[in-house]
Amino acid sequence: MTTTHRTEHHGDVTLADAPRDILVRRIWAVARIAVGWIFLWAFVDKLFGLGFATPGQGAWLQGGSPTEGFLAHSASGPFKDLYTSIAGAGWADWLFMLGLLGIGAALILGIGMRIATIGGAVLLVLMWTVVMPPETNPVIDDHIIMAILLLGLAAARAGDTWGLGARWKGTSLVKSMPFLR
């Protein structure tokens, strides 16, 4: 007895590919949530000084600066003077913290993926320029890899799986301003 495997074609995807496509979408969704948690956790730790990257006395709520330590003490390379000059500035602290919160929340929820992923990639590339050249590799470090991953999340529409992306894109707000997708 022989078994015939029938594959139906629908555009460039076959029905036989469906389980793989579901797995790929779920992997991207897990990556989206994990990266979102990295951003959101950085916000929470810097806000409350939970003792992981930020000690209690360095908490933003206790008057600490979320940008001062990294910018003032890590800055090297061609942008050192720029970054040390803005380290601890109130506007920089607010922009950084709002960025961490917004990017983290958007990624976890799967909404505003275009803005969140582009904003996150820009933030990570800027953080990479703070430590130029990177310590362990003259070109690539985790900031660049994470920026690439963020762009992949947007391209894969990772907010639609295990997120609110599909609903979000159907809202009148996003329909009138598609860049919010």
Q: Are 120 and 39 in contact (CB under 8 A)?
A: yes
pLDDT digits (tens, 9 = 90+) for 115-129: 999 999 999 999 999
| 7: confidence class by pLDDT, cuts 50, 70, 90 | very low
Q: What is the DSSP string of 81-115?
A: HHHHHHTT-HHHHHHHHHHHHHHHHHHHHT-SHHH
Domain-wise residue ranges, the chain: 18-159
Tell me the whole-structure pTM to 2 decimals. Answer: 0.88
Q: Are 107 and 149 in contact (CB under 8 A)?
A: no
Query: Would you state the structure tokens that stand for residue 118, as one six-digit string?
Result: 């582009």
pLDDT digits (tens, 9 = 90+) for 49-66: 999 999 999 999 999 999
